[in-house]
Structure formats: C-alpha cells, structure tokens
A and B are shown apart, each in its own frame.
Chain A
Amino acid sequence: MSVLALERVSKRFDKVVAVDDLSFTVKQGAVFGFLGGNGAGKTTSLRMVLDIIRPSTGTIRVLGREPGRSNAPEIGFLPEERGLYRNMTALETIAYFGRLKGMSPPDARKEGAALLDRFGLSANSKSTVDKLSKGMAQKVQLATALVNRPKLLILDEPFSGLDPVNQGLLEQEIRNMSQAGATVVFSTHVMQHAERLCDKLLLLARGRKMFEGTLDEARAQLPARLTVVARTTPALLQGVESAQDCGEAGDGWRRFDVRLKPSVSPGDVLEQCTLQNFPLRQFEQLHASLHDVFVHIVGATETRP
C-alpha cells in the first residue's frame, strides 16, 4: 500500500519552476530518501505534501487522502529550519504540538513525558526552552514530531545542525519508526545518512526527478570498477572499458584500475580471465559510493560533501 503518492506534480513561483513534473510513490514501512542539492525542490515538495503550499499542477495523495490538516494526527514533521517557543517548558512544547495534532491533553503530556524520558531529558521537562542547551532543544524538536506516533514521518534535512550524538539518536529513531511499521520520508544532501538508512532513494535536481530506486539500483547507474593485479594489462579482455596501470605490485606483477563497460558484471570478466588463462593475483570489485552515484547523475555542481 502506498502511503505517499505524487503524480506529475509541479510548483511554480512566478517564473521559477521549483518542482517540475514530479511523480513517485512511497510504500508503507519504507525509509525513503529525498536527495538533492540546495534548491533542488526537496523542501517545496515536502511542503506540498503537508499542504503548507499547494501544487500548481498534479495530484498528491497522503495516506490515501488529499493533503490537508486533517492528516496531521497521523503525520510527524520536522522542518529544516527549526525553532521552539522560548518561554514554554520542554514538556509544554511537546504537549502543545501533540494537542495540535488532535491528541487529548493527558495523552499529549503522557507521551511527551515518555519521549523526554527516552531522550534522557526527564530532569529538564519543566525547564523553559531558553534554558536548554542546543542539543537538548534539538531533542525536544524531534519529540514534537514523534509525539503523536505518526504513521508517516516527514523529516526535512533532519541531520543538518545536529551534533554527532543527536545524529545517532535520530538515525536510531528512524530505524525504530520503520520497524514499528511507520513510513519515513526524509530529505538530505548528506549521502552517508541516506546510504545507511534508506530502502529507496529519489534524486532531484532543479525540481526534476533524476533517479528513483534502491541503493543497489543507484550504484548500478555507475559502471563497475575493479582493482586487478596481473602480469599484463587486462584492457583487452571482453567487457573492459579501460584499465589504468597503477604501478608495480612486486615480483613482476602490476596493479590496474579497471573500468567495465555499462551492464558488464565483474563475474563476466572473471569468467573471461579463467577461459583465457589470464593470470591473476588479485581481483577485487570496488563499490561506488552514493556520493559518486549522485555526482554521476546530477553533476558535481548539484552536491556538496
């Protein structure tokens, strides 16, 4: 069952096309990564899902319904730009957002207290936000998104500005939510988080979808690479695009950086070596990083490390 579906969605601001003909679906329980550089259209897309802004064209279905505040009880949202009411206590803040999502006051306070306890902040539950450290405030912000135990958790650049401890906490929460059956959609331009967490990825550039699929499918977008130690160059083997000599490997062996032709698997090349009695001392497949895939697909200018 798809929890989120966008069908040919576009959004224009005057003459600027922020999102261009975007279609994708997210299945229940998936962790879906929304990747793209700054200005790629990630935040605009998520705001349309939340009905904060409306699409110029196209349709959106959220939990099988039109976008709108009636979905709020089942959605958790952590925006990229975060803030809290400085004069409210940590518990009041979480309970307030719980109530805005339709929870009863006792339930909102109970769930808020449980979250603060889970995040190690129970001693600070009555502290006003302006007295909390930045790391503590970040946890409270995360709790406001989780208080209603959402079926769909939408996180816009959730790792930006988080300290390493809170990054780990957030990763764990995302895994917990997914294991509990919730669907998580998050946008990021930090590929390592997506690599570790996502079942499925969508790459955006200038508002357009450039890729949608699993991590393996994303890696398959790049030609495979091998490190081979051989007596002679493997460039003449069938399926090899190029082989760069990287130098001496001892006793007359040489190390080669081998690039395969598209859709040629390393196994095919290994089979060729065996058939042709091509002597090998090392045959190692190199896995492309998501960053490499991203750069390959959307271009170096669209990303940053």
Chain B
Amino acid sequence: MNDIFIIAGREFRQIAKMRSFWLTLLILPLCFAIGPVVQHLVGNNEASRVMVIDRTGGAEARALEQRVSLDHDRDVLTELSRYVEQHHLEAADRQALWSQHDRWYSDADVEQFIASGGLPLAKARIDRVKASDGPAFEAPANKYKFVAAPSSLAPLPEPMLDSALKPILKPRVKGAEAVDYVIEIPASFGASPLVRLWANRQPAADFMVLLQSVLTRDLRTRYLAAQGLSPRAAATASAIAPALAISTPPPGGGAKESMLVRSILPLAAAYLLMMSLVLSGSWMLQGTVEERSNKLLETVLACVSPERLMYGKLLGTAGVGIFMIVVWIACGLFAAYATKGAIADFIRPALDPLTSPISVMAMIYFFIVGYVTIATLFLAIGAMSDSMRDAQGYLMPVIMVILLPISILIQAVLGGNSGGILLEVLTWVPIWTPFTVLARLGIGIPAWEVVGSGILLAAFTAVELLLLGRLFRASLLAQGQRPSLAEVVARMRTAAD
C-alpha cells in the first residue's frame, strides 16, 4: 500500500508544480470575484433621465411623474415586505402593509404607505426589533429621474425638435449628462393619440409599458368624458383595477425557486466533478504520456506492479481534484464571510441536502466513484499514447461523449426540468450516472434510482478497472503505432502475462 501512496504523492506534487495547475485553480474563484465587479462596471445602475415637453399644459407630464413615483414607492414597499418576511420582522408592526405579504400592493396601498410615514417610519419600527448584526434594508434605486425641458424647446415646432434634441440625447460637451428619453406630448393630444418619443438607445420595455399605461389611461378618461361621463366618473372608470391577492413563497423557499436553490449544492458538485475531472485527468494523462515518452516506465515497473502504479496515479489525481474542490469551497466560504452573510443567507436553503445524512453519503459516493470511473479512462488513454498528440486523438472524443450530455443536463436542471427521458437515460448510463445523480439530488430523485444506479455504477467501475487495468498493463511497454480497436480489445482480454 505504501508504494501506492508514494506514487500518488509524486503525481500530486508533479501536478502541483505546474503553473497551469495554479492558474486553473484560481481562475474559477477569480471569475466569480471579478464577475460582479465587471457587472457593476458594465451594468447601467443609474436612473434613466427623462424629459417631457408637454404642450397640453403640463397635466400629462405630472401624471407621468406621479406614476413613476408611485411605481418606485411600490417597489420599495414590495422589497420591504420581502425583507420583513425573510428576516421574520413582522413583530415591528403587524398591522403595517409591509407585514402583509400575501397581496399585490395597489396604488391605494402605496399611497397609504406613504401617508403613514413611508420608508423612514417603517425602518424606525423595524430597527426596534431587528438584531443589531442583521443586514439593513436597502431600498431599490430610482429607475427614472425627470429633468426639466429647457425653455428654448417649448416654442419650437415639432419638425425642428429632431435637430434640437440631438445635443440633449448625445451631448458632445465632456461631462454633460445625456437625457435618455424625451417625450413630446402635442397640444392636440386627446383628439389625436400621437405622442413622440426620442431615445438615445433602444427604449427599455418597462419604460414603454409605463408610458403607454399612463397615456392610455388619460386617453380613456378623455374618451369617457367626451361620451358624457362626468370627469370624476371617467377618471374612476379608467383607474378601475382588480385587487389581486397573491400567495408567494417566502424568499428562497418556494416551488421553482426553492428547487433551484436546493439544487445549487448538488449541481455545483456535478459541475465541480466535471471541471476537476477534465483538468486533473488531462494532467494525469500528460504525466503518463511523459513516463512513456521519457522511457521511464521500465524503471518504475521494476519496483511496482502496473496495477499499483495505476492505483497510485488514480489516487494522486483524485487528490488533485479534491484539493481543487476544497480550495474552491474555501473561496466560497471566504466570500460568504466577506459579504457579511449576504451570500450565506441566500445559499442557506442550498445547504438543505446536507441535513440528510443519506444525501451527504450519496453525494460523497457518487463524487468519488464517479471520479475513479472517469479518471481510469484518462489513464488508459495515457498508457496507449506515445505523445500528447497521440493522446489528443483519443481524448477529444471521450471528453465530448462524457461532457456534452452533462452540459445539457445542467441546463435542464437549471431550467427546472426534474423529469424526462433524458434525465432517466443519463441516470442509468454509468459514465453519466455520477453527474446526473448529483445534479438530480437537489430536484428530487427516487431513492430506488439512487441505490440502483449506485450499484450499477460500482459494478461498471469494477469491470472497468479490471479491463482498463489489463489494457494499462499491456500497453505500458508496448511500442509503435496507436493500437487498433481489435488490439485494444485483445489487450483487455489478456490477463497478466
């Protein structure tokens, strides 16, 4: 057994000395760290600037501003409600709107929220019951900011606006802020439904919806008034809306969302298995090819049997793979700590699978056996190849066959697809079993399938180790051209000679 550990140790050290190992090891956490920063830098978090040229007297512009303000307050109230629900802070004021989570907040609700003190009063009440180290509520940012139209624009006839608005939409002066949307509401609005919009980019869908709803409502009011309805009745008719009672899952806890969050850990395990296998497997393959091409093998085989050499290599590579995963998990934990629990709060439901010892055992079992199953394939390829170019000829098809269905599988699970013939097939084909079962653990897999596919995987791995062990032994000292399929089969059938 000692020689297996000695070989495993050498394999581990050899890979750990490679620059590519450390680069690859750190790329994943770096990507995760850089991702949000890049998103923050590239993303547009600033409020869109809106200018309204209202030739009707200002009523339409005011209506738009009121709608934007109301929608923003609704966002604040909704987010506050979810925050209170997530952190169980209803005790702050059980009668408050933000303690009632089962409804869509109507305009009247929002107006009531503002009238009763709005966010400042709510926060003051919440602070009385909130734990001192609990995360503070952060209100969503304003999506739109209204800017006054220059007085020079108002008298301009509409055809001249195109050229006059150019420097406003895309200012050439350095440091000047561009206006994102300019809306011209002509004096004839009502009689004519025409309204013009200039934008410095493709208009956002939610802005168009907002604009259309405000103007449609006003058009309807005007129409109803024209039909003889009193202005008050016309306005009321336009504002009629259903009161929706909504049942939403608690944050991170409901149907699809919950399923996804619960799937994070098993999916991550499947993904990490895939990543670490491909990376460490190819390094192991490189090491085996080096031993063959450097004519080292005979010296090694004088000291250890081919089987023990194979086990040592598998163990060393598994060590590399597990080390990579430990580092990645440590980076994740560090991130959770560094973000003061924000990530931890989010992924807490993801740790649910760990509360069941059977799930934990299943994850460990499929991870390790899966590693051995696939890594043995890489090892056999290395033993048959005299150079990396030779090895690539085998490697690419094998990687494609193993990983392509897995990519589809992960997409399927992320899409909330918990069943289907694809998942069933992948579950029962041993080279895909470990990835599939790991991925399905979060979204739900019958126990009999876990046990059955686990037994099948163990049997397959035992036969694979036997056959590929023979191939490894027979190929180590063989020289010459790449073996044909018939030769590969013959080597597998040859017991130790």
Residues of A within 8 A of B (CB): 47, 50-54, 69, 72, 75, 77-79, 81-88, 96-97, 99-101, 141, 144
20 A–B pairs (Cβ distance < 8 Å), ordered by A: A54-B496, A69-B3, A69-B303, A75-B302, A77-B299, A79-B298, A79-B299, A81-B295, A82-B295, A83-B291, A83-B293, A83-B294, A83-B295, A85-B14, A87-B17, A96-B6, A97-B299, A100-B3, A100-B300, A144-B299
Q: Look across to chain B and name the residue whose beta carbon is closest to the beta carbon of A105.
A: B6
Closest 7 CB pairs of A and B: A83-B294, A81-B295, A100-B303, A79-B298, A83-B295, A77-B302, A83-B296
Which chain B positions have C-beta within 8 A of A78?
299
Q: Is B213 an interface residue (CB 8 A)?
A: no
* Cα–Cα, bound, A86→B291 (Å): 10
Q: Hey, what's the 0/1 contact readout for B303-342 against A, CB within 8 Å counting as 1?
A: 1110010000000000000000000000000000000000
> Which residue of B has the minimal Cβ distance to A56?
B497
B304 pairs with A69, CB closer than 8 A? yes
Q: Which residue of A lies closest to B496 (CB)?
A: A54
| Neighbour of B304 across the interface among A75, A81, A87, A100, CB < 8 A | A100
| Other contacts beyond A52-B298, A72-B303: 7, CB < 8 A | A53-B497, A54-B496, A81-B295, A81-B298, A85-B294, A88-B10, A101-B303
Given known contacts A52-B477, A54-B496, A96-B6, is B303 in contact with A84 (CB within 8 Å)? no
B10, B14, B290: which has the most chain A beta carbons within 10 Å?
A: B10
What B residues does A97 contact at CB under 8 A? 299, 303
Q: Does B466 contact A (CB under 8 A)?
A: no
Across the two chains, which residue of chain B brings its CB closest to A79? B298
How far in angstroms is the closest Cβ of chain B from A162? 15
B456 at interface by CB-CB < 8 Å = no
Q: How far is the CA of A144 from the CA of B295 in the complex (A)?
A: 14
Q: Which residues of A contact B305 (CB under 8 A)?
A: 51, 69
Which B residue sits closest to A54, measured CB to CB?
B497
Q: Which residues of A contact B477 (CB under 8 A)?
A: 47, 52-53
Check A86 against B294 for contact (C-beta < 8 Å): yes
Interface string of B226-265 (1 = CB under 8 A from A): 0000000000000000000000000000000000000000
Closest to A129 in B: B294
A288 to B293 alpha-carbon distance, docked (Å): 41
Whole-angstrom distance between the Cβ of A129 and the nearest chain B Cβ: 9
Residue with the greatest number of chain A CB neighbours at <10 A, chosen from B7, B300, B496: B300
Complex CA distance for A85 and B290, rounded to whole angstroms: 8
A84 near B296: Cβ-Cβ < 8 Å? yes
Minimum C-beta distance from A68 to chain B (A): 8
- Specify which chain B residues have a CB less than 8 angstroms from the CB of A87 in the assembled complex: 14, 17-18
Of all chain B residues, the one with the shortest Cβ separation from A11 is B497
Contact for B302 among A50, A81, A141, CB less than 8 A: A50
How many angstroms between the C-alpha atoms of A96 and B497 in the bound complex? 27
Residues on B lying within 8 angstroms of A by beta carbon are 3, 6-7, 10, 14, 17-18, 290-291, 293-296, 298-305, 308, 477, 496-497
- B10, B17, B293, B294: which contacts A84 (Cβ < 8 A)? B294
Q: How far is the CB of B422 from chain A (nearest CB, A)?
A: 43
With a cutoff of 8 Å between Cβ atoms, the chain A residues found around residue B300 in the complex are 100
User: Is B299 touching A82 in the complex (CB atoms < 8 A)?
Assistant: yes
A141 CA to B296 CA in the complex, in Å?
10
Q: Kindly state the separation between the CA atoms of A87 and B291 in the bound complex, as whole angstroms.
A: 12
- The docked-state distance in angstroms from the alpha carbon of A100 to that of B296 is 14
Question: When A72-B302, A100-B303 are in contact, do A79 and B3 touch as well, CB less than 8 Å?
Answer: no
Residues of B within 8 A of A144 (CB): 299
Residues of B with C-beta under 8 A to A100: 3, 6-7, 300, 303-304
- B30 → chain A closest CB, angstroms: 25
**Which of chain A's residues has its CB closest to B292's CB?**
A83
Interface centre among A53, A78, A81, A101 (most CB of B within 10 A): A81
What's the nearest-Cβ distance from chain B to residue A46, in Å? 9
Closest beta carbon of chain B to A173's beta carbon, Å: 17
Are B299's CB and A88's CB within 8 A? Answer: no
Closest CB-CB distance, B317 to chain A, in whole Å? 16
Contact present for B294 and A52 (CB under 8 Å)? no
Q: Report Cα–Cα, A87/B308, bound state, in Å.
A: 22
Please state if A86 and B304 are interface contacts (CB–CB under 8 Å): no
Q: Which of B14, B298, B302, B308 contacts A88 (CB 8 A)?
A: B14
Bound-state CA distance A76–B497 (Å) is 23
Query: How far apart are the CA atoms of A52 and B6 in the complex, in Å?
Result: 19
- Which residues does chain B contribute within 8 Å of A81, judged by CB atoms? 295, 298
Q: In the complex, how many angstroms separate the beta carbon of B298 from the nearest chain A beta carbon?
A: 4
Q: How far is the CA of A62 from the CA of B300 in the complex (A)?
A: 19
B288 to chain A, nearest CB (A): 12
> Which residue on chain A has the smallest CB distance to residue B301?
A52
CB distance from B11 to the nearest CB of A (A): 10
- Complex CA distance for A50 and B477, rounded to whole angstroms: 14
Count chain B CB atoms within 10 A of each CB in A53, A85, A144 and give the residue with the most: A85
Q: How far is the CA of A100 from the CA of B303 in the complex (A)?
A: 6
B14 in contact with A52 (CB, 8 Å): no
| Chain A residue at minimum C-beta to C-beta distance from B298 | A79
Identity of the chain A residue whose Cβ is nearest the Cβ of B477 in the assembled complex:
A52
Chain B residues with Cβ under 8 A from A53's Cβ? 477, 497
Residues from chain A with a CB closer than 8 A to the CB of B17 are 87
Chain A residues near B308 (CB-CB < 8 A): 69
- Nearest-neighbour CB distance to chain A for B260, whole angstroms, equals 44
A50 CA to B301 CA, complexed, in Å? 9
> With the chains together, A237 CA to B300 CA distance in Å?
61
- Chain B positions within 8 Å of A75 at CB level: 302
Q: Which residue of B lies closest to A83 (CB)?
A: B294
How far, in angstroms, from A100 to B17 measured CA to CA in the complex?
Answer: 21
A83–B308 alpha-carbon span in the complex (Å):
20
Bound: A96/B6 CA distance, A: 8
Distance in Å: Cβ of B285 to nearest Cβ of chain A? 15
CB distance from B493 to the nearest CB of A (A): 14
Closest chain B residue to A101, Cβ basis: B303
**Docked complex Cα distance between A228 and B340 (Å):** 105
A230 to B438, CA, bound (A): 98
Inter-chain contacts of B10 with A (CB < 8 A) = 85, 88, 96
A82 to B298, CA, bound (A): 8
- Closest residue of B by beta carbon distance from A156: B298
Question: Shortest distance in angstroms between A109's beta carbon and chain B's nearest beta carbon?
Answer: 13
Contacts of A83 on B, CB cut-off 8 Å?
291, 293-296, 299
CB distance from A111 to the nearest CB of B (A): 15
CA distance A87 to B18 in the complex (A): 9
CB-CB < 8 A to A96: which residues of B?
6, 10
User: CB-nearest residue of chain B relative to A53?
Assistant: B497
Identity of the chain B residue whose Cβ is nearest the Cβ of A13 in the assembled complex: B497
Q: How far is the CA of A163 from the CA of B478 in the complex (A)?
A: 28
- How far apart are B361's CB and chain A's nearest CB, in angstroms? 35
Residue of B nearest to A99 (CB): B6
Min distance, Cβ A101 to any Cβ of chain B, angstroms = 6
- Nearest Cβ in chain B — how far from A146, in angstroms? 13
A51 and B14 CA atoms in complex are apart in Å by: 27
Once the chains are docked, how many angstroms separate the CA of A101 from the CA of B300? 10
